[in-house]
Structure 1
Amino acid sequence: MSHRLGHKRHGSIDLLEVIGVVNEKGSQGYLPPVHTPLTYDYVLVANNVHDASSETFKKQVAFVNALKSKKLKISKIPDDEKVFYGIKAPKEIFEQYRYLLKVSDACNWSYEQQGCVPLSTRIRIVNFILHHTCISDTGEYLQDLMKKNVFEAEFCLHEKKEQKELRKSWARWTACFQGQPITNVRNYFGEKVALYYLWLGWYTFLLIPAAVLGVIVFLYGLAFYNTSPLIKEVCDSNTIMCPLCDKCKVWHLSEICDYAKVNLLFDNEGTVAFAMFMAVWATVFLEFWKRHRASYVCEWKVFDWSEEEEELIMEIVNNPDCEPKQHKHSYLRSILVMVFVTFMLVLIIGLAHALVVFRVIAAVQLTDSSWEFVSDHASLVALMLGAVLHYLTITIMTRVNRIVAIKLCDIERVRSNAGTERSFTVKMFTFQFFTLFSSLIYTAFFLGRINGHPGKYTKLVGKWRLEECHPGGCLIDLFIQMAVIMVLKQIINNVFEITGPWLSRWMKRRKLSRKKRRCVNCYVKENQEPKVGMQLCDNCKLQDLQRNYRLNKVDCFSLFNEFLEMVIQFSFTTIFVAAFPLAPLLALLNNIIEIRLDAIKMVSLERRLVPQKTNNIGVWTTVLEAVGVLAVIANGLVIGISSDFIPRLVYKYYYGPCYNSTEPSVNCMSGYINNTLSTVQVNDPGLNFHLSQLMTDEIHNVTHCSYKDYRSSEDYSLTPQFWLILAVRLAFVILFEHVVVICKFIAAWFVPSSSLQVKNTRLHDKLKRLKEELSGETFY
């Protein structure tokens, strides 16, 4: 039996293959196939400057000479408008790299030491040399030259044969329910990209049980809401409710019959169990992911690989006389970063408050609308408009957050590239998290709880009354916001992800001259790799370079953006899942599309990403663990504070008819709705109700109205029942979080991060390496 999920076992197809998590026939000691050598390891593109006296031309020449001084071979292939510099590194550089790997403290026993330096490694080394080479006179690096338009683009070439194979087996829509060739992806794009798709596939696979259970919880509420005594009590009620805003009118409780049914779909006993399940699920997902990842990095021989160790090796390969970058720490810089981060968080939270103000003012204005539906449902329409505006805010702030995070990393001056990436990831995720969840946190825990009571309403600048929870329940507000944001975010993002690259490539093709020059010296078709030994003429080389140049640009943020999108989705799926049990189902459907969408972009529509080596998903693991902890806290608070689960529980066992009755025919929840309502006399001078608010076409001669709260009808003070419910709420939150945290620790302990086969394989490899070292050593 194979040690990895995803293999075919005993003639059956593993479920992982069906949904497209993995589909490989790997084996221990696997070596990547030998690629047909490309013409160049890397390509620089610049405008074809004919004036040899211009500053741009001089800098181009100076940088090319600097590369030649490092023994890189440079070929210049001019076009009518562009000039392509094909860069190829000599064998000696890679031999030096292999030797340094062998003697290093980490990165041992990788396939580079076993007689083969794959193209992905060649590209990575050349890319490092290019970005760490400067013009001696001015000290300008490639990044500086590109900002000054000395060079327009840089990229590594797609391999036609491997690209075609990936397109056929992976990067196409008809492969949505087929497996992912993870090892082939790794050989072509590097371990970093491969682990992203491995993680995304594993996340998608484990969403299946969460989505199924979420649908069951939804169907449970759907099956019983018609027969629920709570629904009947609302729908048959003649209770007159107080106005919900300063311009609103009194209304019958029975008017929210449909909304009460919707609220019960997501606020029932099944939701509590589902929230506990999802909190534990987040831990199980991460622990099984660590185990799943370990089997692959062990097979790829990168289990002990160190990013900072390889960075040192690259620096020596680039410059044998380099000096080590010293570890430094500045308290002043740390304080500055902390101050700016705090300022950004205050700004983001301020935007969430601005959305609250928008909804308050919009609800008042919509009440005067000439459209009857809008005026009758002003609060609901204002809530949906606020959710759409929240989405637009998220889109704008995403760009702002990235710029600020980059600037803060520049202030920190982290020593290594790996450290810079970790620092940027943490800052960017923190900003994005608050951008997306600040408004949801307000809706879940503050909406309707700080707006006061009749006679003492809280008002903005003494004019606009704060918004109430939806009459059907506070969870409806949270559900609507989550549904709008998740659906809009996923649909719009996917539309832009697929149409953006297509349109960009189409426009670039239109702008570029499409002069086709048929090559008579070699017959190389568009999607074929030249045969071994075949010499490409300049025209064929130029066509291949132009084909890669026309593809969409990629940068260091390309993969980061995909990770950030999926981790934010993971946060939505786990943190407020108690209010939206269908979130895992939406995430599952989105991810099935997302895997192929990202694959099509990377293989067919974008330039080839520079292959990066790694053995994990980096700081994202820590981020996911933090989200798992937040999921426990948030779901406990949503059930204990926001939902009516605790008030119903207290009523059933302490205030309801079953408390003193032993008759089995008594409905324990009878009278619950009226128990949650407080009553006021409308002629109380402190209430300031307008006469127009107290009369409708159906309601006349109103003497009293009700509102949802536990207050005395005389002095509006809180009743003992309120304090009892509050105490039970707090006790439930503490109990819920402790029970779930214990379950999380048990799950983490029960699932080891590496399987026994992985441990035995590593032990075998280390023993084999030590024996080989011993056999090659001479003792005196």
Structure 2
Amino acid sequence: MASAFLRRKQPYLNSDLPSNGAPQLPPQPLERIGELSREEDEFDFAILLKPSNAPEHPQLNNAVVDHSHLRGKSKKDPTRARNLIIERIRHTGLHVKRLLSLNGKQTLLKVKAPQHVLEVGAERLRLRKLRKFDRIWMEFSRELHATFADFDEQLGGVRFIDSEKQSIVHALLTSAMADNGAGLNEFCPLKTKYPHRSNCHRFATGVLTQPIDDVAQYYGEKVAFYFAWTEMYTRWLLVPSIVGVVLFALQVSSKKIDHPLAPLYAVFMALWTSAFLIAWKRRASTLAYRWGTLGYEEDTEVTRPDFYGDPALSTPERKQYPAWRRYAKYAVTTPTVLASMALITMITYIAFAIRDRLECESLETKTHAKHVASAIGADLEHGLTLKNLKQLSSLGLDWTFWFYFLVAPLLYGLLIPVLDFAFTKWARAMTNWENHETESRYRSHLILKVFSFRFVHVFASLYYYAFAGSRGDNLLRVAIQLASFMVAGQLWKNVMETLYPLVLRRWHARQKKRDTNAQVSHSAVFNAMTLPMGGSRRRRSDALVMAGHRSTAAGGGGGASIEMNNTNAVIHEQCVRLEQASDKAWEEAELQTYDTFEDYTEMLIQFGYVSFFSLAFPLAPLLALVNNVVELRTDAFKLCHAKQRPIAHKASDIGVWFHVLQLMSVLAVLTNCLHVAFTTTLLERLFAWSLSSSVEAVTVTATTKVWVAFGAEHLLLALQVAMMLAIPAMPRDVQHKVRVEREQAKQESARAMAAKMLLLAATPARSDGDGDGDVDDA
């Protein structure tokens, strides 16, 4: 079961608590100077406990409430929350190290897992490891740990990579306390020193080749699949870019967007999307097998801390939530999302339709103004006199025209980000209300909601100008708008993702350094140390008392010695406190979290630009190719320097994003067929050729165009399905290895079953011969 896989009979450490529920932890001595720097690479996670805003409760606002949320409860005992959290973590078997800020108001907990906890967690997580003798992936077992390739004799156990250690520690921290977890959800993984630097260097120097395997080992398979997909997508853009440049050159030379070869390019792009998805599916299965995540299912996931069950159905071992209640919630959230999409579509259509109508009216008004000016003896080319203004005031250029023509598009541009932000928060609230059990299912439903809304408001204007506009230059308008989206939008995004966080981070670091220096310079120890040597001993003693240390020296013979000892103790304490406050984990904990959602959204919208509207702007694949080369570097920089290290999640593919891509490939086929039928003159040329007539003399009705478009769309979709059936989703070598693994798993299962039956058969005979037998108290 997903929620009970971490359950064990006895906790790793004694978890007996006082009756009042508040653990009384022994005071932890301050660490020696240099101890933190030596153990920096050993810790996996950091948990930042911030002070409360309430003046009557100044220490911590974090106390245990339910599964994951930590809020202030005890105002009389401000350290209760911190100690309770530490006891929770220690109860799971994890090691905790406490750091204090320079002013003592914030606490940072650094967490790591010892070797025996890693092995127990790996076994319960059913992590797969390569076996030594046959290089086959098998589920980890502590009894057979010497048979795995990563077994280290000096360590006395299996050596786990960074992402595996993170998965185990993350499972222990997020599991509910009933499952012997800590029930927390606010923490950040720490960046290990040497792998982090190596990965960042290779990220920065590569162009289209990335250390995908190292990314999977360090950041987890979920992040690695994003970079692998982006890299492959960028490589596949090379051929459409070359073909698009050739078509663009032909369009420029002929001075017509409607070139005779444009329909062939549209069909090529429709088939290209299908071929790319098939190739990616094979690539994903190869990578998943290489990383040991092929066939990874969400049954192996930990239950989300925010998941709650129905008390009438739940048991202490597993939370249960009735399916009918969740489907009832789907019946509310799904129409809400569809209504939001319909609303943004209606707003887009009304805004651009009004602008087009006013633009047509302005052209008619300008033409009429020229006739009026000619009649009154004035020329618009050289200006008008005051005497003629009264005659021209009846041309209809009132304030409503300028409002709709200039202000309305501006308001539309400002309204879209506001609606996007509001809908994203609303979608998160709706997804939380749906109460999903696992993190992958929660993210899938959130992605479908948010991406559907963004897809509509991004592509609504392009579809309007391509098929619903009333002017004859719709294809040119689509090309101009698409070019502006792909150039200006991508540049702005890269600046906001890299330069802005870097400048903000350096500003915060400088501000923190200034505050630290101010606190040190105003501390009592600093003042005591900087007093003149000839100064009064009484003054130095008073300064030490201000630091919180007793001084028995009031100015006698032995008092100088005691005072010096106290001074050394205070200096040592302050130096340790300064070292704790300057630990790099503080800076990492304050960084923003990294999520692949925004990066996937950007890439899939760009994929839509390329696959839907390359007919109107054949340079779209080339711009996407150039942008993605830069995007790979900026994403790597952001991941290494501007964001927290993401939590390593297991994955066997890009998840729900692949289903979105499949839907977009179908939509690409339909869109390109509609392009050929409605925005090009291919049908007119074909009918003119068959009738031996001129193109201008042939008129094709809209009904005929619709039938032709849908006929071509069904033909291309049938070809797409045939390609998917003819090309297997898994390469032959991977299929063979998976088949061997399954056979060996069946054989081992049969051996285990036979051994169990033999043991059961031998038990009665041993009991008869030995009487009562011996009882194992283990």
TM-score normalised by L of structure 1: 0.67
Match of residue 74 from structure 1: 96
Q: How many angstroms apart in 2 are the aligned matches of 1:737 and 1:70?
A: 57
1:576 aligns with 2:576: no
1:292 aligns with 2:322: no
Judged with a 3 Å threshold, the aligned counterparts in structure 2 of structure 1 residues 56 and 271 are, in CA distance, closer, same or farther, namely farther
Q: How many angstroms apart in 2 are the aligned matches of 1:283 and 1:43?
A: 44
Q: How many angstroms apart in 2 are the aligned matches of 1:211 and 1:435?
A: 26
Q: How many angstroms apart in 2 are the aligned matches of 1:140 and 1:340?
A: 36
CA positional deviation for 1:271: 1.2
Q: How many angstroms apart in 2 are the aligned matches of 1:155 and 1:103?
A: 22
CA positional deviation for 1:371: 11
1:124-273 counterparts in 2 under 5 A?
124-132=167-175, 142=184, 154-170=187-203, 172=204, 174-177=205-208, 179-223=209-253, 225=254, 261=255, 264=256, 266-273=257-264
Contact 1:74 1:86 in 2 (8 A): yes
Judged with a 3 Å threshold, the aligned counterparts in structure 2 of structure 1 residues 164 and 90 are, in CA distance, closer, same or farther, namely closer
Q: How many angstroms apart in 1 are the aligned matches of 2:619 and 2:183?
A: 50
Match of residue 41 from structure 1: 44
Q: Which has the higher helix share?
A: 2
1:343 aligns with 2:346: no
Judged with a 3 Å threshold, the aligned counterparts in structure 2 of structure 1 residues 622 and 774 are, in CA distance, closer, same or farther, namely same
CA positional deviation for 1:164: 1.0
The count of residues paired between Structure 1 and Structure 2 equals 581
Paired residue for 1:729, among 705, 727, 735?
A: 705
Match of residue 355 from structure 2: 359
Q: How many angstroms apart in 1 are the aligned matches of 2:164 and 2:512?
A: 32
1:441 aligns with 2:437: no
Q: How many angstroms apart in 1 are the aligned matches of 2:320 and 2:627?
A: 43
Q: How many angstroms apart in 1 are the aligned matches of 2:222 and 2:449?
A: 21
Residue by residue over 1:731-757, the C-alpha shift from the partner in whole angstroms, topping out at 9 and shown as x without a partner, is 421332123112212322232111111
Match of residue 685 from structure 1: none
Contact 2:174 2:305 in 1 (8 A): no
Match of residue 717 from structure 2: 741
Q: In structure 1, give the amino acid aligned to 2:218.
A: Y
Match of residue 530 from structure 1: none
Match of residue 510 from structure 1: 510
Q: How many angstroms apart in 1 are the aligned matches of 2:630 and 2:410?
A: 24
Paired residue for 1:334, among 318, 330, 334?
A: 330
SS of 1:329's equivalent?
helix
CA positional deviation for 1:360: 4.0
Q: How many angstroms apart in 2 are the aligned matches of 1:135 and 1:98?
A: 19
Match of residue 111 from structure 2: 87
Contact 1:84 1:545 in 2 (8 A): no
Q: In structure 2, give the amino acid aligned to 1:283.
A: S
Q: How many angstroms apart in 2 are the aligned matches of 1:92 and 1:157?
A: 21
Match of residue 242 from structure 1: none
SS of 2:49's equivalent?
strand
CA positional deviation for 1:389: 6.7
1:77-116 counterparts in 2 under 5 A?
77-81=99-103, 82-102=106-126, 109=138, 114=148, 115-116=158-159
Judged with a 3 Å threshold, the aligned counterparts in structure 2 of structure 1 residues 350 and 726 are, in CA distance, closer, same or farther, namely closer
Q: How many angstroms apart in 1 are the aligned matches of 2:642 and 2:159?
A: 29
Judged with a 3 Å threshold, the aligned counterparts in structure 2 of structure 1 residues 45 and 168 are, in CA distance, closer, same or farther, namely same
Judged with a 3 Å threshold, the aligned counterparts in structure 2 of structure 1 residues 383 and 205 are, in CA distance, closer, same or farther, namely farther
Q: How many angstroms apart in 2 are the aligned matches of 1:424 and 1:334?
A: 12
Q: How many angstroms apart in 2 are the aligned matches of 1:348 and 1:313?
A: 33
Q: How many angstroms apart in 2 are the aligned matches of 1:769 and 1:727?
A: 59
Q: In structure 2, give the amino acid aligned to 1:121.
A: E
Paired residue for 1:628, among 665, 672, 678?
A: 665
Contact 1:37 1:119 in 2 (8 A): no
Residue by residue over 1:32-89, the C-alpha shift from the partner in whole angstroms, topping out at 9 and shown as x without a partner, is xxxx983322111123677584676443333333333333332211121432111223
Judged with a 3 Å threshold, the aligned counterparts in structure 2 of structure 1 residues 603 and 219 are, in CA distance, closer, same or farther, namely same
1:302 aligns with 2:293: yes
Contact 2:232 2:280 in 1 (8 A): yes
SS of 1:398's equivalent?
helix
SS of 1:268's equivalent?
coil
Paired residue for 2:738, among 759, 762, 770?
A: 762
Q: In structure 2, give the amino acid aligned to 1:400.
A: A
CA positional deviation for 1:550: 6.8
Contact 1:505 1:551 in 2 (8 A): no
SS of 2:729's equivalent?
coil
Contact 1:74 1:88 in 2 (8 A): yes
1:422 aligns with 2:444: yes
Contact 2:221 2:648 in 1 (8 A): yes
Paired residue for 1:323, among 289, 314, 318?
A: 318
1:328-727 counterparts in 2 under 5 A?
328-330=323-325, 331-356=327-352, 359-360=355-356, 363=359, 392-448=414-470, 469-470=471-472, 473-513=473-513, 515=516, 542-546=581-585, 548-549=587-588, 552-555=591-594, 558-654=595-691, 658-659=692-693, 672=696, 675=697, 722=699, 724-727=700-703
Residue by residue over 1:244-302, the C-alpha shift from the partner in whole angstroms, topping out at 9 and shown as x without a partner, is xxxxxxxxxxxxxxxxx3xx2x3222111111111111110000001111111111121
Structure 2: which 5+ runs fail to align? 1-38, 53-57, 61-74, 129-135, 149-157, 307-313, 370-378, 383-396, 521-574, 759-778
Q: How many angstroms apart in 1 are the aligned matches of 2:410 and 2:676?
A: 26
Contact 1:63 1:134 in 2 (8 A): no
CA positional deviation for 1:309: 2.2
1:8-87 counterparts in 2 under 5 A?
38-47=41-50, 51=59, 53=75, 57-81=79-103, 82-87=106-111
SS of 2:42's equivalent?
coil
Q: In structure 1, give the amino acid aligned to 2:345.
A: I
Residue by residue over 1:447-472, the C-alpha shift from the partner in whole angstroms, topping out at 9 and shown as x without a partner, is 11xxxxxxxxxxxxxxxxxxxx15xx
Q: How many angstroms apart in 1 are the aligned matches of 2:271 and 2:351?
A: 33
Identity %: 23
Q: In structure 1, give the amino acid aligned to 2:730.
A: S
CA positional deviation for 1:103: 10
Residue by residue over 1:229-257, the C-alpha shift from the partner in whole angstroms, topping out at 9 and shown as x without a partner, is xxxxxxxxxxxxxxxxxxxxxxxxxxxxx
Q: How many angstroms apart in 2 are the aligned matches of 1:508 and 1:79?
A: 16
Contact 2:234 2:629 in 1 (8 A): yes
Contact 2:593 2:644 in 1 (8 A): yes
CA positional deviation for 1:382: 9.6
Contact 1:76 1:84 in 2 (8 A): yes
CA positional deviation for 1:333: 1.7
Residue by residue over 1:673-692, the C-alpha shift from the partner in whole angstroms, topping out at 9 and shown as x without a partner, is xx5xxxxxxxxxxxxxxxxx
Q: How many angstroms apart in 1 are the aligned matches of 2:95 and 2:492?
A: 45
